[in-house]
Structures are given as C-alpha cells and as structure tokens.
Amino acid sequence: MSLDAREGARDSSPLGPGVLALIVGASGVGKDALIAGARSILADDSRFVFPERTITRPPHGSEKHIPISDAEFAKAAQDGQFALTWEAHGLSYAVPASIDEMIGRGQTVIVNSSRAITGAARQRYAQVHLVLIECPLAVRAERLAQRGREPAESVQARLMRKVSDFDPGEADVRIDNSGTLADGVAALVAALRSFPGGPKAQS
C-alpha cells in the first residue's frame, strides 16, 4: 500500500532544541496503549507533550484523535495547519503545526507515527528519536480483532503491510511489547526520559 509523507512549509534550518519522539511499529503492536500509559505517568511534567493527531476516520474508543473529512484535511494541509502528514490504509494522518512551537520551547513531543515519515521528520527537526514497538504476528492479530476498529479484510491488510524503505536498525530504541502493558509503558517512559537533548526525569 502506498504512503505519502509530506512536510508543511517552514524555514530550511531544522527546528530545535526540543525532541520529536516518533513512536512507530506495525498495526496491533500496542502503540496507542503504550502512549496512553506514558501520557498518564508524565501528565504533571510539562516538558513532555502528547499532541493529538488529525485523521480522516470517525471517532473510536480505541484511540484519541481529531476526526476530519477528506476535504477538510486537504484544506487544513494547504493552509499550513500540519507539521507532518502521511497516508496509510486509505486514511490521511497529520501532526499539528503547533508542535514546532513546543519543540522550539525545548519540550519533548511524543507522536504515534508512521515509519514512512522518518526521513521527512529528520529533515524538519534537529532532534528526532525513533522508538520501534514490536511484538509477534499472532499477538498483533489478536489485538486488532479485539479493538474492533476495522473490518476483517482491513485487519488482514494491516497485518501484511510492509514499509519497504524502513530499516528497523534505524530505531534509537526497540521495545518488545508482547509482555504486560505495565512493562511496555515503563520501557517507553524510560526511553523518553533518556533521549539526548530531551528533558530528564525530575529529581
């Protein structure tokens, strides 16, 4: 399935000094659950921010996002409201342009992202760290079925999807999320606190 990573208009110099943490991985590895857990733990630490994505998909209890129509998405992209956009599974996704200000303030911005926009993100931001979430195919299939967000044929397509130009070795951190949710969340929070250029744990 083709994906298209696009950048919003900006100056040529990569933005900093904050960090953009891209949480990536195949459908069903548990990215939303880990991000929700990390958001809860870091809720009182303003140095970490979790902006909601805009997606051309109706609201669903399994994830937090801003629903939007295809026409509204195209207009918002044209107006420069998005920092990064991509397409996957017949949907359009976007990260708000407001993250530029957050990164400019030195915050760490955590985003559930596509593996396909890694290159575009690294061109736009000076400090990009990639967190790859992984788990076995059987676990992914069970999770996708349980969340009930997609029809069966879409679930199968998500399980089989590959990103041809993505090298897992590019990841700064790889987290095996086949264990407990608590273990996965703890690993993600530790990674976010450890990235060079980002905020450290409060003493």
pLDDT the model gives residue 154: 65
Whole-angstrom Cα distance, residue 130 to residue 167?
11
Whole-angstrom Cα distance, residue 27 to residue 25?
7
pTM, rounded to two decimals: 0.81
pLDDT band of 141, cuts 50, 70, 90: confident
Structural domains in the chain?
13-51+99-193 (3.40.50.300)
pLDDT the model gives residue 143: 77
**Considering the chain, what is the average pLDDT of its residues?**
85
Tell me the per-residue pLDDT of 147-195, one tens digit each, with 9 for 90 and over.
666 556 665 656 665 655 667 788 999 999 999 999 999 999 999 999 8
Residues paired with residue 131 on neighbouring β-strands, in sequence order: 23, 173
Tell me the per-residue pLDDT of 27-45, one tens digit each, with 9 for 90 and over.
889 999 999 999 999 999 9
